Amino acid sequence: MADDRVTRLQQAAEVVALLQRADLLVALEQASELVVTTLRSGATVLLCGNGGSSADAAHLAAEFVGRCTVERGALPAICLSDSSSVVTAVGNDYGFDRVFARQVEAFGKPGDLLIALSTSGRSPNCVNALTTARERGVATLGFLGRDGGDMAALCDVALIAPSDVTARIQECHQVWAHIIAEDVDRLWAN
């Protein structure tokens, strides 16, 4: 059992080390710039995801509204899965595939940013949210895994974790989220 844990820790470290690849560093810089540009303009960051990705979306929204590393003013961010009443009402009336798209219709404005998280890149409700965002002039950023799935083509910037293992993909997403949140904090602190 202990050997298995060591192996999984080594695998996690190996995947996170791959985030230093040149193409992923460029994508991370673009993602950070997109978030900073959105927030500097006074626009809102909308976030969505399912399951663990929903928790990661809520975590990143909290980093913007609260703070990550340094004291600064609150920044506008909304996790679209946080309202169980909205999610269940829209899911019941329009279908679960529409739970995020309907909220992008309600809240998304040109200049805003939708960050969609999906380890598969194929979550239908995230695909629909990204499609709606593009139709409304909302910029799009994906935290994805595997080959990026259908979502990659709908993203202005796609951060695609170099793994096919859900846990390793989510760990990459968490690392990227913290780096972006730290970049935001540093810019607002100065």
In CATH, what number is assigned to the domain containing residue 162? 3.40.50.10490
**Which domain does 59 fall in, by range?**
2-189
Mean pLDDT calculated for residue range 136-164:
98
When pLDDT is cut at 50, 70 and 90, the band that residue 3 belongs to is confident
pLDDT of the residue at 99:
98
Find all residues with CB under 8 Å of 4, minimum gap 6, and list them: none
- Res 2 pLDDT > 80: no
Give the alpha-carbon dihedral of 158, 181, 46, 151, to 10 degrees.
10
Tell me the average pLDDT across 106-121: 98
Count: domains in the chain: 1
Residues of the chain above pLDDT 70, percent: 98
| Residue 160: pLDDT band with limits 50, 70, 90 | very high
The pLDDT assigned to 189 comes to 65
- Mean pLDDT, rounded, for 168-187: 96
Cα–Cα dist 143/118, whole Å: 6
In whole angstroms, give the CA distance from residue 120 to residue 99. 18
pTM of the model: 0.96
Would you state the pLDDT for residue 190? 62
Which tokens in the block code for residue 74?
A: 């609150």
pLDDT of residue 143: 98
pLDDT for 186 beyond 90: no
Is the pLDDT score of 34 beyond 80?
yes
Max Cα-Cα span within the chain: 52
Segment 114-139, tens digit of pLDDT = 999 999 999 999 999 999 999 999 99
